[in-house]
Amino acid sequence: IMITDTIGFKVSEYEDRYYLFVRRTIGSLDALAIEFSETPVVDTEITIAVTATSDGDPVEGASVAFGGENLGITDSNGEVVHTPGDAGTFTVIASKENYDSASEDVDILTEDEAEEDALDLAMPEVADPDEEMIIRVTSDGDAVEGAMITWDDEEIGETDDAGSLTYSHGETGTYTVTASKSGYLDASEEITVAIPAAKFELDGISLPDEVAEGKSFTIITNVTNVGDIEGMYRAELVVDDGNGTVVGAGSQNVTIVAGDTETVEFTHKIADAGAYTVRIGDKSGEIVVTASESNTALVAVILLILALLGGVGYVLISSAPEGGWTAEKLTEAIKEKLPGKKGL
């Protein structure tokens, strides 16, 4: 139950205990994205919209800069308006606390350019070194023959009558590909040439809502290799008590074939009662660790017997831990005091 945005309390399964906790934000809440509502033309008002990448919802209160000029903050619709006075290419930056900033280049057209047809460029986003790729150029859905294609400012050829050019590149990196032709507006896209690699995604995390202190529980996640080749994923279990103590609680290596999913399972126990956050990779879940029952009657009988025995009983009775003895704690203490005894 949340009291404020960051403070709340949890109720145990039997509704006899309450645990106060503080929810902390670790890293960014989300990433920002920038959109333009219309084709930007010089001396014409344009709307710049800022949204959250995860769900596309508008982000209010984001600062927006256009070509180094501060335009103010977005309204409740996530928008600011601007009338550019000059044609050219400008960088628009959106930023807000607890969000990853966004940056987009926008071309402000002259009135003459706005009347020209735009080229559309289609090609893979990622290619292997020396892999043949097809670059296609169209305008309003029609193939454009004779469009010059440049690869990071190096001319690599013109499109054929189908609007296509086949090309391969041997060096890894990210490159800008541009299509241009007289009477048309240029089109540019980025492509990454990279050695095939494994890439992993986690499908949530499963763990119990509540467990007694010192009792083992299981944490499970499914890992999928969405990359191109087989690879090894290292799953690391992290436990955060919400008070600044973050503990690495184990790790596993799992080899996954491209396209396959493997289940990773950890068994762990936490000694002290409280509310904890458990993480594997970018996935997390919360668990409440409850205090163990005191077993008062059993403890009393054991202490009475020890008191009759003398020395050991006196030492244990006079050195009870904070919160009192439990049967489990007392048994461990007796083992320490009487290391040679069996059957405890």
Q: What is the CATH number of the domain that holds 183?
A: 2.60.40.1930
pLDDT score for 27: 54
Based on the domain organization, do 47 and 100 belong to the same domain? yes
Q: Which two tokens stand for residue 238?
A: 């992290």
Based on the domain organization, do 213 and 256 belong to the same domain? yes
Based on the domain organization, do 204 and 277 belong to the same domain? yes
pLDDT score for 291: 82
Q: What is the pLDDT of residues 261-272, one digit of tens each?
A: 999 999 998 888
Domain annotation covers residue 20 = no
Instruction: Give Dmax (Cα) for the chain.
Output: 104
Domain annotation covers residue 6 = no
pLDDT score for 198: 87
Q: At what angle do helices 327-337 and 296-309 cross, to 10 degrees?
A: 20
Question: How many separate domains does the chain show?
Answer: 4
Percent of the chain whose pLDDT exceeds 90: 41
**Nearest Cα residue to 35 out of 56, 54, 55:** 56
Domain annotation covers residue 15 = no
Q: What is the four-CA torsion angle of 204, 208, 209, 211, rounded to 10 degrees?
A: -150
Q: What is the pLDDT of residues 285-326, one digit of tens each?
A: 898 988 866 555 555 555 555 555 555 555 555 565 655 555
Asked if 94 and 64 touch (Cβ cutoff 8 Å), the reply is yes
Alpha-carbon distance of 3 to 287, in angstroms, equals 18
Based on the domain organization, do 146 and 178 belong to the same domain? yes
**Nearest Cα residue to 77 out of 62, 96, 60:** 60
Alpha-carbon distance of 186 to 306, in angstroms, equals 90
Asked if 11 and 18 touch (Cβ cutoff 8 Å), the reply is yes
Domain annotation covers residue 318 = yes
Q: What is the pLDDT of residues 156-194, one digit of tens each?
A: 999 999 999 999 999 999 999 999 998 888 899 999 998
Using pLDDT thresholds of 50, 70 and 90, give the confidence band for residue 214. confident
Percent of the chain whose pLDDT exceeds 70: 76
At position 219, the amino acid (one-letter code) is: I
Q: Distances in Å between the alpha carbon of 63 and those of 36, 66, 101, 235? A: 16, 10, 10, 37
> Could you tell me the residue range of the domain that residue 321 belongs to?
296-337
